[in-house]
Amino acid sequence: MTQAATATATVDKKIYCGICEAACGLIATVQDNEVLKLRGDPDHPQSQGFICPKGASFSSIRNDPDRVLRPLQRQADGTFREVDWDVALDDIGQRLGAVIKAHGRESVGVFLGNPNGWNYGAFLWLVGMAAALKTKHFYTASSLDINNYWVVGHLLYGRNLANPFPDIAHTQFFVVLGSNLVVSHGSMMTAGRVKEKLQGIVDRGGRVVVVDPRRTETAQNFEWQPITPDGDPWLVAAMLKTLFDENLVDTAGLKEKTSGWESLPALLSGITPQRVEAETGMSYAAIQQLARDFKAAPSAVMYGRCGASLGPFSTLTKYLIDVFNIASGNFDRRGGWVFGRPMIDLELFTHLFKVDGYDRWRTRVDNFPEVLGSAPLACMPREIRTPGKGQMRALLIGAGNIATTSCASNDMRDALGELDLIISLDPYVTETNRQAHYILPPTLWIERDGMPVFSQSHNTVPHAQWAPATVQPRGEARHDWWIIDQICKRIGLVPSGSRVAQWLGKLGIRLSPGTVVDLFMRMAPEGDWFGLRPNGLSRKKLYATGGPIKLQDDPPVGVWRKKVHHKDKKVHLQHAIIIEEMRRMLARAPSTSEAFPLRLISQRELQSQNSWLHNSPRLMTANRVHRLRMNPNDAARFGLHEGDTCTVTSAHGAITSPIHLTDEMMEGVVALPQSWGHRGGWKHAVAAGGSSYNELTSNAVQDMDLPSGNAVLNGIAVRVQRVAASAAQQAA
Ligand SMILES: Nc1nc2c(c(=O)[nH]1)N[C@H]1C(S)=C(S)[C@@H](COP(=O)(O)OP(=O)(O)OC[C@H]3O[C@@H](n4cnc5c(=O)[nH]c(N)nc54)[C@H](O)[C@@H]3O)O[C@H]1N2
Ligand SMILES: Nc1nc2c(c(=O)[nH]1)N[C@H]1C(S)=C(S)[C@@H](COP(=O)(O)OP(=O)(O)OC[C@H]3O[C@@H](n4cnc5c(=O)[nH]c(N)nc54)[C@H](O)[C@@H]3O)O[C@H]1N2
Ligand code: SF4
Ligand SMILES: [Mo]
């Protein structure tokens, strides 16, 4: 038969991209279970046809020759052998059962990595497995970048996941603290076409001020305000103080919507102009003017992300950002700090399933408060090594590359080697799971049905989308949730914290996550109430629509009474934890010293997604070189030149990197893309070389954000010394 005779017609499917929080609407052209093309969906209400290189190249990941397509079992010599699913699952069940028998369920750990944000089934089943084990060893990528949000959501609004975000389509004044939106496409704000939306602010006569130690791709296009790393809480505290000092505070709003606001002047009393200037590198007069301009704008909003979340006072910083937005009168109003209209109310969902919460228990070794039922990842190596009841002995890793992405990655890698059993669900043999006893191949987002479980809460254009699998899985890849379910079955567990699920499990009934989420959605505010609300949502309806359904044009405003969950319906502004954090910050000594005169910050790249797209030759092109960016004046100070190979040394480790001189860095600050320096079986990623940023970071308790357990990954004090001169220098 000729090819022409067998080929089936191409089909266009409306889906959304499951790589990052932007969740862009895409059109996939599919033929014979192959994705021929991925392009932006011009009709998508939020992303309006946008697609980035990662989304457009995803077929190269799905068809990657290094992708794991059958379960891998590690052999005594460290190599892996392919085995059948039954063999793998039965053996895992036995070995996990033996660990539980000897050391109890609380000795088993679960890690939930970033890609689960686009994998509702894995997300629910990992959370459920940890709950059913009743283990305190539940760790998530959130403690690398976002636990501060969950703590502040809990303190201010009464739920971890309560998260107001900027009404970017209407604001007239946008202050961005530590977010490179043009590259990252946003986090905790799902904007779609974010660069155009930022430009829209300027086009309608407004301002965009980007506060960042680096003149980033975002800062280049708008107003750049350099800031010393970790200066953000000082900056925002000084701006808030300016509002109070100059009687610019929205007192009526504070009285109506908040409690404890009278305590704010006392909280800010230790903030002095001299100290603020020393900590931020900005003039106090300029900061006061920024606060006045913000207040004078018809609407204004301040937004902070990783640059404001990866420092030592990230909970305090996030608290101050929210308070500043509220105190300036921009809370829950058009162009200000608004709440979303999600298709699935995660705040309610996590509350009903008792996942939501803070400080209901403490970690065994370091006494950190639990956040959303999880412990900080930075604590994991100590939990593995410290003997006693509850010592961690086994770990299931669901989509995580923590030997690279965790703080103190070397220590993490070594500690993992001390476990009795590691099971990794991952499409690659990475530097993390090459130590695993089993690597189990998951389907990728394009091979399973999906709804953007995480980012739908912060849609700037509220809409609903639930797409069936675009293509069938390759090889023997299985859905993550199915794998977790099969492992749980073999140790007698139903992966759920819900009593109903446990009870059904006893009757032999195991619901799929799709059914659970559909049932919940149909009963929740946006649901069809099983026919009582014909315009409401169900999975069936969303499948039948074959694309997104817009719920309304803009995020709702005037809804704070519904969105604040404290019993008194007020935003709570006074907290002992915050007062203590302010005291600690005021007492803190400077980070740099003669030995470590520079500050290192992380850099995200357009063609990377954390650590996991580096094996695609389409994305990891030959011209991509891993190098440390430095201001030319710093280079002159230390006698360094463009292209020199240098050691970068912190108090915790040393790595080697070529340097690149650029005035996009403010003086005193160097930047390095995170998550390079791969090891393992992803050959192209390994061949790309580079060094691993997190060998320089710390997991010591005193180096973490104490209220949230967030790691500190930015502002690391380092020195940079030449190992070898560049070729140009050698020739001269
Ligand atoms: N292309 C791409 N997109 C991504 C990702 C990716 O790896 N690549 N990752 C995704 C993930 S998991 C997340 S959480 C989001 C993150 O989204 P963003 O937070 O927007 O991402 P970053 O690029 O890390 O932006 C942080 C910015 O803070 C600056 N910065 C560093 N230290 C400080 C400081 O102390 N103060 C201030 N004010 N700024 C500072 C950095 O220079 C950087 O520009 O991006 C997501 N999107
Ligand atoms: N120095 C420094 N370190 C950082 C950051 C920083 O800014 N600076 N950023 C931090 C941030 S914001 C985050 S979110 C974390 C992320 O940290 P992680 O959650 O550890 O990392 P990722 O690199 O996103 O991906 C983890 C793994 O998931 C696998 N994977 C991809 N899709 C799937 C899937 O569908 N199923 C399964 N089972 N596996 C899948 C990938 O192959 C990869 O090995 O890193 C943090 N680390
Ligand atoms: S921005 Fe994120 S969601 Fe959009 S296409 Fe790129 S990777 Fe996918
Ligand atoms: Mo992240």
> Which residues neighbour 352 within 8 Å (Cβ) at sequence distance 6 or greater?
none
What are the backbone dihedrals phi and psi of residue 411, each rounded to the nearest 5 degrees, phi first? -65, -40
pLDDT at 590: 83
pLDDT at 6: 66
Q: What's the rounded Cα separation, in Å, for the pair 600 and 595?
A: 14
> Which residues neighbour 471 within 8 Å (Cβ) at sequence distance 6 or greater?
28, 30, 33, 34, 35, 62, 446, 447
Q: Which of 174, 184, 217, 318 to mutate to test the pocket of ligand 1 (most atoms within 8 A of CB)?
A: 184
DSSP 156: I
Cβ–Cβ < 8 Å for 600, 590: no
pLDDT at 319: 98
pLDDT at 5: 54
pLDDT at 1: 42
HSE-up (13 A, CA, CB side) for residue 435: 21
pLDDT at 454: 87
Q: What's the rounded Cα separation, in Å, for the pair 245 and 342?
A: 38
DSSP 264: H
- Measured from CB, residues less than 6 Å from any atom of ligand 1 are 20-21, 114, 145, 177-181, 183-185, 187, 211-214, 216, 227, 229-230, 232, 305-308, 311, 601-602, 604, 606, 608-610, 714-715
**Amino acid, single-letter form, for residue 194:** V
CA dihedral of 150, 606, 302, 146, whole degrees rounded to 10: 10
Task: Domains for the chain: give ranges and CATH numbers.
Answer: 3-62 (3.30.200.210), 72-146+345-513+545-550 (3.40.50.740), 165-338+558-582 (3.40.228.10), 589-731 (2.40.40.20)
- Measured from CB, residues less than 6 Å from any atom of ligand 2 are 113-115, 119, 141, 144-145, 306, 310, 398-402, 405, 425-428, 430, 442, 444-445, 480, 602, 610-612, 674, 693-694, 713
For 22, 38, 316, 606, the CA distances from 52, given in Å and listed in that order, are 10, 10, 33, 8
pLDDT at 2: 46
pLDDT at 730: 80
- Nearest residue (by CA) to ligand 1, atom 18, is 179
The Å distance, Cα 161 to ligand 3 centre, comes to 23
How many Å from the N-terminal Cα to the C-terminal Cα in the chain? Answer: 66
Q: Mean pLDDT, 10 residues at a time, over the chain (732 residues)?
A: 66 97 97 97 98 98 98 97 98 98 98 96 97 98 98 98 97 98 97 97 98 98 98 98 98 98 98 98 98 98 98 98 98 98 93 94 98 98 98 98 98 98 98 98 98 92 97 98 98 94 93 95 95 96 95 98 97 98 95 94 98 97 96 98 98 98 98 97 97 98 98 98 84 75
pTM recorded for the entire structure: 0.97
pLDDT at 453: 86
CB-CB neighbours of 707 under 10 Å: 27
